[in-house]
Structure 1
Amino acid sequence: MTIKDTAEEWEVRASETPFTGNKTSVRTDEVVMPDGSVVRRDYQVHPGSVAVLALDDQDRVLVLRQYRHPVRQKLWEIPAGLLDVPGENPLHAAQRELYEEAHVKAEDWRVLTDVYTTPGGCDEAVRVFLARDLSEADGRRFEVEDEEADMELARVPLDELVRGVLAGELHNNCLVVGALSLVAARSGDGVDALRPAEAPWPARPFES
């Protein structure tokens, strides 16, 4: 048996969108089950996201601390953002987010991993990149607003982040997935074996 996720789509008898927000919406589908019964499934429709584990030459990860209202916490995270434009190249989006949130650019980009954040209730897909060879970005800093106006930036050793994840002190999914994926890559075939930054992404197809 091959352990690999596969595309499949069960019959949808009816679909409606009872709520449409600024960036996401909620959809209700009537889905035909294998036994022929029909059930209703509510889920959030999401444009997709990118995240960047930016690693400097001292093995420190660029992280930011931001208030997240749904969980009523300030979370340490890695730079991330929405794929605002349908079909947008995720690498370009990741480079934009790294610039806007940290005013940093990177010369070496690779794909760490692709994940669905909560596939039981949301179709959000996230591509997590590894960015290396960091330097200060040129030009003016991006003007931040709302929660980002209160954001803190830091560079934290990778092993300290991993300790925090395993101790239950760090909870942001992109930070957790990114940090542990990098450790796994290093202990496996090595970072150079990671997929290239422009690797195909079936969950969110894009143009180069």
Structure 2
Amino acid sequence: MNSYGDGSHHRRARETVEDTPESWDVLQTKQRFDGHIIKVVTDTVRMPRDEAAERDYVVHPGAVAVLALDDQDRVLLIRQYRHPTRHLMWELPAGIRDVPGEPLVDTAARELAEEAGYRAATWHTLIDLRTSPGMSDERIRVFLARDLTKIPDEENGFVHRHEEIDMPVKWIPLPDAVEKALMGMIHNSPAVAGILAAYAASVEGLALLRPADAPEA
């Protein structure tokens, strides 16, 4: 339980601007829905001043996404139907963390190969996202993949199904991708975040990027 005594506001104002782990007491948990990938639960959480409040949220296994950047500074985008939004959306290659214990960069490499047909020799952690922290525990790590090579069709035995059938792949210059994100033409959150992060990181020559195996908070 957290204490909010006199002076706490001033102490907190001096703290470093960095998300930090913290877990408030959960008095009760009720499971509302258990699906193929997600669950929905209601936690009764002990709040400051010893009050309790219910919080509904989605339990999600997490995901990875890949911003693939070629030697011409073009971003690889794929287009996929997203039924909840009723839109065809331009996105980064991405996928669920569905292999227990698999390093995240390996998951990302597999998704890049399966969805786009490319391999990358150089990997960095680009950005970590909590996609909607008020309603879900989902977290997405977006990787930067460079030094790309096309996988010959005969070597890529992945079979596309459902939304992935006839999924186009398009290369677009990074500045153009930034413009499309800012103009509201690209809406997928890891795509927007990855595009803007890659553009910002390029100012420092990618020197600020973390290694591909950087720990998650």
What band does the TM-score fall into relative to the shorter chain?
over 0.9
Rounded to whole Å, the distance in 2 between the matches of 1:118 and 1:150 is 29
- Return the match for 1:34 from 48, 70, 79: 48
2:61·2:97 contact (CA, 8 Å) conserved in 1?
yes
Aligned equivalent of 1:200: 215
**How far has the Cα of 1:150 moved from its partner?**
3.3
| Fraction of identical pairs, as percent | 49
- Return the match for 1:16 from 10, 30, 43: 30
- Return the match for 1:167 from 180, 183, 189: 183
**Letter paired with 1:37:** E
Aligned equivalent of 2:197: 181
The answer to whether the aligner puts 1:104 opposite 2:118 as a matched pair is: yes
**Letter paired with 2:79:** R
Rounded to whole Å, the distance in 2 between the matches of 1:111 and 1:121 is 25
Partner of 1:191, secondary structure, is coil
**Letter paired with 2:33:** F
**How far has the Cα of 1:37 moved from its partner?**
1.4
- Return the match for 2:172 from 142, 146, 156: 156
Rounded to whole Å, the distance in 2 between the matches of 1:129 and 1:95 is 9
**How far has the Cα of 1:186 moved from its partner?**
1.7
Write out per-residue CA displacement over residues 38-96 of structure 1, whole angstroms, 9 at most, x where no aligned residue.
11111000001000000011111110001000010000001000000233310010000
The answer to whether the aligner puts 1:49 opposite 2:63 as a matched pair is: yes
Partner of 1:56, secondary structure, is coil
Q: Which moved more, 1:69-78 or 1:141-150?
A: 141-150
2:113·2:156 contact (CA, 8 Å) conserved in 1?
no
Number of equivalences: 201
**How far has the Cα of 1:36 moved from its partner?**
1.3
The structure-2 alpha-carbon separation of the partners of 1:35 and 1:87, relative to structure 1 and needing over 3 Å to count, comes to farther
Write out per-residue CA displacement over residues 89-136 of structure 1, whole angstroms, 9 at most, x where no aligned residue.
100100000000011000000000111000000000000000000001
Question: Where do 5+ consecutive residues of structure 2 fail to align?
Answer: 1-13
Rounded to whole Å, the distance in 1 between the matches of 2:158 and 2:207 is 32
Aligned equivalent of 1:128: 142
The answer to whether the aligner puts 1:62 opposite 2:70 as a matched pair is: no
Rounded to whole Å, the distance in 2 between the matches of 1:17 and 1:120 is 17
Aligned equivalent of 2:93: 79
Partner of 1:175, secondary structure, is helix
TM-score, normalised to structure 2's length?
0.90
Rounded to whole Å, the distance in 2 between the matches of 1:140 and 1:51 is 19
**How far has the Cα of 1:35 moved from its partner?**
1.8
- Return the match for 1:7 from 12, 16, 21: 21
Moved over 6 A (4+): none
Rounded to whole Å, the distance in 2 between the matches of 1:141 and 1:61 is 24
**How far has the Cα of 1:140 moved from its partner?**
2.7
TM-score, normalised to structure 1's length?
0.93
1:103·1:141 contact (CA, 8 Å) conserved in 2?
no
Question: Where do 5+ consecutive residues of structure 1 fail to align?
Answer: 203-208
**Letter paired with 2:181:** V
Rounded to whole Å, the distance in 2 between the matches of 1:163 and 1:131 is 21
